[in-house]
Structure 1
Amino acid sequence: MWKLLDESNKNQYKLLITNFASLSEAFAQKSSDDNIIIAPIINSKFQEASFKKSFNATIEDIGNSSYDASVKLANGSKYIIGIKSFGVKSGFQKIAQFKKDSQQDEWGSIIERIKKRQQDGSNDEDFDDYLELAKKIAVLRNKRISSSKSQLQGFDFDSQVEAVYHVLMPSGSVNKNKHNDEPYILVGETSYSSIDLKHLQIIGPTKSNMLQNFQFTDGQHLYQYNSADSQLLMSFKGHNGNGMSNEDIGVEKWPVTYIEDPFKLFANLNSETTKPVDDHISQSVTFMIKIERRSGFNAWYGSPKTKLDKNDSRYHRIVSLSQQDTSLPSDWLSKFNRVAFDVFSSNKEKIEREKLRFELTNCLSNGTELFDLTTTVLWRNYKNPYEVYIPLPNSKKFHTKYPDFFVKNGGLLRGNKLVSDRPNRSFELELLPSEEKMTMFINQDNGKGIQSLSSQFIFGEWVLKNIFQLKDRELLTTDTLEDVGINAITFTKYDDNRPVSMNFTYVDSENPPEDLWN
């Protein structure tokens, strides 16, 4: 990717980073040895902000996300990027964390089996257990990467999205007595690939007394898993992790010259008036994704909009066809009548109904008339399980406070009903980071849902299959959200005539964003 970036943009990025690093002596304790020049300092947040400004990138700072930024180049190339900074001589670097997943799936029990054998993690059974755990890690890691790519890819499933790590590696401290030795920052780049499940090889525990930490490779990269904090680390020494030094991935080297008196610079910063950069954001709101079993992103799973009537010609046809089909269980029709006509009030009863509905459907051959009729009258949308809407938590309170957020008067309510007709509560939505646009509208009681106006199944398939990485007819759950590192959606309004934007994000409960809606 680096070689494809615009040279003027790269020069701007270099200037920002090296100018910041030139102030390093203001942020670090000076060595007692006057012959030592301290190592350059890189601030990760400043690095991300500089990358965004220089390359017009979209920055994603969302906890469990698999990437930090996305870029679309002039030639049409699309990249998701992991932005990192670490010293040239540093070792393994954290690239992912699976704390909740490891607890829910009891990964610790696998480590305990290895420890109980007391074989230093070196026998065949130990390696089999390590391999089992490596596969679990790889599956989750790959889901997150695929979901991240799909957000940039958009609805064009055939478009290619590449993934890279972009790294800034400051040199260590420098001895003035060494000839031509000077501080520098090395720009590095290496592939950001999914883990190849077919070529996993276990290297073994990091130490004989640290069996909970082990290393493995897929032939593309060298990984290390640390069990205590459920972190996945990766070696950047060479493109497959087996190189001699992090410098093996270097693509450009920037010398750093320190300002003689950085404190003087800070003391005079307010002597000149600087104009702040305007991002034209007028308002933003972040909604936690609300999981509903039969609505929202699982709307396809609900019951049909119209309840079946026994006088319906479709019902009489189902009775006739089921009686002719000798392969069906003798109680198939009685169970069908129960699912179609009985009242299921409690959630427990509704789940029982859904189990019976699956049982009835699975008895039938796909493509037959009886199958088509049964799935039509018992399911909300079995054939196209992509009917979804975006649920807005506490929507009545939100629309009452911000009736014009999505479109002027679009959220006005009279009781629990929306006042405006559909055209006047429709609006253009830009999906980030792909920048694709889709016409959406506010819908349902209390304006609790946002759905696409004419491309509901296109939007639903993209969200369910590509963003959440679900199989057809698989329910979205909180566990799935944790797997892909998404649990919220941010909507942003602008004052420069841009449409409202939407991007999937992750909210850390211990550090929620200021715009989080409750």
Structure 2
Amino acid sequence: MWNLLNQDNKNQYKLLMTNFASLSEAFAQKSSDDNVIIAPIINSKFQEVSFKKSFNATIEDIGNSSYDASVKLSDGSKYIIGIKSFGVKSGFQKIAQFKKDSQQDEWGSIIERIKKRDRKGSSDEDTRDYLELANKIALIRNKRISSSKSQLQGFDFDSEVEAVYHVLMPSGAISKSKQNDEPYIMVGETAYSSIDINSLKIIGPTSPNMLQNFQFTDGQHLYQYNSADSQLLMSFKGHTGNGTSNEDIGIEKWPVNYVEDPFKLFANLNSEATNALSDHVVQSVTFMIKIERRSGFNAWYGAPKNKLTVESVKYRQVVEQAKKCKKLPSDWLSIFKKVALEDFKSNNDKILREQLRDYLINCLAPNSELFEYTTTALWRNYKTPYEVYIPIPNSKKFHDNYPDFFVENGGLLNGKTLVSSKNNRTFTIEFLPSEERMQMFINQDNGKAIQSLNSQFIFGKWVLKKVFQLKDRELLTSDTLDDLGINAITFTKYDDNRPLSMKFTYVDSHNLPKDLWK
């Protein structure tokens, strides 16, 4: 990717990063050895922002995300990027964390089995257990990567998205006696691949006394899993992790010249703010994704909108066809009538209805005429289970406070009813990072839903199958969101004629964003 980026943009990025590093002596602890030149310092947050500004990238803020940024080049190619910084002599680097997954799936019990055997992790049983755990890690890791690519791909599922690690590696401390040495930053790049599950090979524990930490490879990269903090690490020494140095992935080297007196520079900086790097953000709001069994992103799972009656065409088609079938269970038709005609009011009643509905269709051949009639009668959308809407939490209060957030007067309410016409509640959303756009509108009681205007199933299929990595007719759950490191959505308004943007994100309960709406 690096060689394809615009050279002027690369020069700007280089200038930002080397200028920051030139101030390293202001941030470093005083060395006890005056004969040592300290190592350049890179601030990871500054690196991300500089990358964004220089390459017009989208920086992601998703917990456990498989990537940090995305860029679209002038030739139309798209990249998701893991942005890293570490010393040229550093070892394995953290690339993912699976804390909730490891707890929910009791990964620790696998490690305990290995410890209990006391075979130093070298027995066939130990290898099988390590392989089982490596498979679990790989499955979740790959889902996250696939979801990340899909958000950049947008609705065109066939467009290619490449993935790379972009790395800045500062040199170590240097002895002043070595006259030809100077501080530098090495630019590195290597493939950001899904884990090849079919090629997994266990290397073994990191040491006989640390059986909870083990290494494995898929032939593409060398990985290490640390059980205590549920972290996946990767070696950057060579493109497969088996090289001799991190500099094996180096593609460019930047010399760093330290400012003689960085404190004097800070003392004389102009205190007036500049608009040169303005992001044009006017307002943003972050909604937590609330999981509902039959609404929101699971709206497709609900019952048909129009209740069946004995006179309904759909009802009569099922009954007439069922009477012709000789192989149905004796109670099939009576259960169908119960599901179709009775009221199921409480949540437990509705769950029973869903269980009976599943029983009915599981009795039928998938390609039969009766299967077609039954699924059409009892499901909201069985063939295309992609009907979704984006829920606005505490929507009435939100619209009362911000009636113009999505569109002018779009959130005005009279009681529970939206005042403005559908046309006046319609607005354009730009999905990040793909930058694809779609017409959406505010809908339902209290304006609780954001729905796509003309392409509901296109939007729903993308969100459910690609972003959330669900199979057809699989419910979205909090466990799924935990796997992907997604739990919120951020909407942002701008003052430079851009449409409202939307991106999936992650909210850390210990570090809540200022724009979080409750």
TM-score bracket relative to the smaller structure = over 0.9
CA drift of 1:316 comes to 2.4
SS in 2 for 1:471: coil
SS in 2 for 1:180: coil
SS in 2 for 1:51: helix
> Which residue of the partner structure matches residue 325 of structure 2?
325
Take 1:290 and 1:358, find their aligned partners in 2: how far apart are those partners?
Answer: 25
Query: Are the counterparts in 2 of residues 430 and 500 from structure 1 also a CA contact under 8 Å?
Result: yes
> Which residue of the partner structure matches residue 433 of structure 1?
433
> Which residue of the partner structure matches residue 107 of structure 2?
107
Change in Cα spacing, 1:442 to 1:127, as seen in structure 2 (3 Å) is same
Question: How do 1:156-305 residues align onto structure 2 when only pairs under 5 Å count?
Answer: 156-270=156-270, 274-305=274-305
Take 2:138 and 2:273, find their aligned partners in 1: how far apart are those partners?
Answer: 51
Query: Are the counterparts in 1 of residues 402 and 411 from structure 2 also a CA contact under 8 Å?
Result: yes
SS in 1 for 2:146: helix
Take 1:319 and 1:281, find their aligned partners in 2: how far apart are those partners?
Answer: 58
Take 2:292 and 2:449, find their aligned partners in 1: how far apart are those partners?
Answer: 12
Take 2:98 and 2:214, find their aligned partners in 1: how far apart are those partners?
Answer: 15
Residues 1:456 and 2:456 are matched in the alignment = yes
Take 1:50 and 1:316, find their aligned partners in 2: how far apart are those partners?
Answer: 65
> Which residue of the partner structure matches residue 387 of structure 1?
387
Letter in 2 for 1:133: L
SS in 2 for 1:166: strand
Take 1:258 and 1:312, find their aligned partners in 2: how far apart are those partners?
Answer: 81
CA drift of 1:273 comes to 6.4
> Which residue of the partner structure matches residue 414 of structure 1?
414
CA drift of 1:315 comes to 2.0
Question: How do 1:117-128 residues align onto structure 2 when only pairs under 5 Å count?
Answer: 117-128=117-128
Take 1:386 and 1:148, find their aligned partners in 2: how far apart are those partners?
Answer: 20
Question: What do the CA deviations read for 1:35-76 (whole angstroms, capped 9, x no partner)?
Answer: 110000000010001101110101112221111000000111
Residues 1:35 and 2:35 are matched in the alignment = yes
CA drift of 1:366 comes to 2.4
Letter in 1 for 2:207: K
> Which residue of the partner structure matches residue 89 of structure 1?
89
Change in Cα spacing, 1:341 to 1:272, as seen in structure 2 (3 Å) is closer
Take 2:337 and 2:273, find their aligned partners in 1: how far apart are those partners?
Answer: 77
SS in 1 for 2:516: coil
Letter in 1 for 2:3: K
Question: How do 1:490-509 residues align onto structure 2 when only pairs under 5 Å count?
Answer: 490-509=490-509
Letter in 2 for 1:408: E
Take 1:114 and 1:359, find their aligned partners in 2: how far apart are those partners?
Answer: 41
Take 2:183 and 2:206, find their aligned partners in 1: how far apart are those partners?
Answer: 32
Letter in 1 for 2:210: M
Take 1:222 and 1:277, find their aligned partners in 2: how far apart are those partners?
Answer: 39
Take 2:362 and 2:274, find their aligned partners in 1: how far apart are those partners?
Answer: 68
| TM-score, length basis structure 1 | 0.99
Letter in 1 for 2:141: R
Aligned alpha-carbon RMSD (Å):
1.0
> Which residue of the partner structure matches residue 143 of structure 1?
143
Letter in 2 for 1:322: A
Take 1:311 and 1:18, find their aligned partners in 2: how far apart are those partners?
Answer: 76
CA drift of 1:115 comes to 0.6
CA drift of 1:276 comes to 5.0
Letter in 1 for 2:146: S
CA drift of 1:278 comes to 2.0
SS in 2 for 1:451: strand
Take 1:424 and 1:273, find their aligned partners in 2: how far apart are those partners?
Answer: 38
Question: What do the CA deviations read for 1:374-411 (whole angstroms, capped 9, x no partner)?
Answer: 11111111110000000111001001100111011111
SS in 2 for 1:367: coil
Take 2:271 and 2:55, find their aligned partners in 1: how far apart are those partners?
Answer: 30
Question: What do the CA deviations read for 1:138-172 (whole angstroms, capped 9, x no partner)?
Answer: 00000000000000000111100000000000000
Query: Are the counterparts in 2 of residues 432 and 502 from structure 1 also a CA contact under 8 Å?
Result: yes
Question: What do the CA deviations read for 1:330-356 (whole angstroms, capped 9, x no partner)?
Answer: 110011011111222221221111011
> Which residue of the partner structure matches residue 360 of structure 1?
360
Range with greater deviation from structure 2 (422-431 or 268-277): 268-277
| TM-score, length basis structure 2 | 0.99
Change in Cα spacing, 1:497 to 1:272, as seen in structure 2 (3 Å) is closer
Letter in 1 for 2:302: G
> Which residue of the partner structure matches residue 446 of structure 1?
446
Take 2:427 and 2:342, find their aligned partners in 1: how far apart are those partners?
Answer: 40
Take 1:104 and 1:272, find their aligned partners in 2: how far apart are those partners?
Answer: 51
CA drift of 1:370 comes to 1.5
Query: Are the counterparts in 1 of residues 315 and 340 from structure 2 also a CA contact under 8 Å?
Result: no
Query: Are the counterparts in 1 of residues 314 and 376 from structure 2 also a CA contact under 8 Å?
Result: no
Letter in 1 for 2:196: D
Take 2:273 and 2:92, find their aligned partners in 1: how far apart are those partners?
Answer: 43
Take 1:330 and 1:512, find their aligned partners in 2: how far apart are those partners?
Answer: 56
Range with greater deviation from structure 2 (170-179 or 460-469): 170-179
> Which residue of the partner structure matches residue 52 of structure 1?
52
Letter in 1 for 2:328: L
CA drift of 1:512 comes to 1.1
Letter in 2 for 1:307: K
Aligned identity (percent) is 78
Question: What do the CA deviations read for 1:186-235 (whole angstroms, capped 9, x no partner)?
Answer: 00000000000000000000011111000000000000000000000000
Question: How do 1:328-347 residues align onto structure 2 when only pairs under 5 Å count?
Answer: 328-347=328-347
Letter in 2 for 1:517: W
Take 1:444 and 1:272, find their aligned partners in 2: how far apart are those partners?
Answer: 47
Take 2:345 and 2:254, find their aligned partners in 1: how far apart are those partners?
Answer: 68
SS in 2 for 1:270: coil
Query: Are the counterparts in 1 of residues 410 and 420 from structure 2 also a CA contact under 8 Å?
Result: yes
Query: Are the counterparts in 2 of residues 30 and 38 from structure 1 also a CA contact under 8 Å?
Result: no
Take 1:17 and 1:205, find their aligned partners in 2: how far apart are those partners?
Answer: 38
CA drift of 1:271 comes to 6.3
Query: Are the counterparts in 2 of residues 285 and 516 from structure 1 also a CA contact under 8 Å?
Result: yes
Take 2:273 and 2:264, find their aligned partners in 1: how far apart are those partners?
Answer: 17
Query: Are the counterparts in 1 of residues 403 and 411 from structure 2 also a CA contact under 8 Å?
Result: yes
Query: Are the counterparts in 1 of residues 281 and 494 from structure 2 also a CA contact under 8 Å?
Result: yes
Take 1:513 and 1:272, find their aligned partners in 2: how far apart are those partners?
Answer: 27
Letter in 2 for 1:138: A
Question: What do the CA deviations read for 1:267-314 (whole angstroms, capped 9, x no partner)?
Answer: 001367644532111110000001110010001100000010012233
CA drift of 1:498 comes to 1.2
Q: How many equivalent pairs are there?
A: 518
> Which residue of the partner structure matches residue 77 of structure 1?
77
Letter in 2 for 1:78: K
Take 1:386 and 1:133, find their aligned partners in 2: how far apart are those partners?
Answer: 33
Query: Are the counterparts in 2 of residues 201 and 217 from structure 1 also a CA contact under 8 Å?
Result: yes
Range with greater deviation from structure 2 (58-67 or 429-438): 58-67
SS in 2 for 1:61: coil
> Which residue of the partner structure matches residue 316 of structure 1?
316
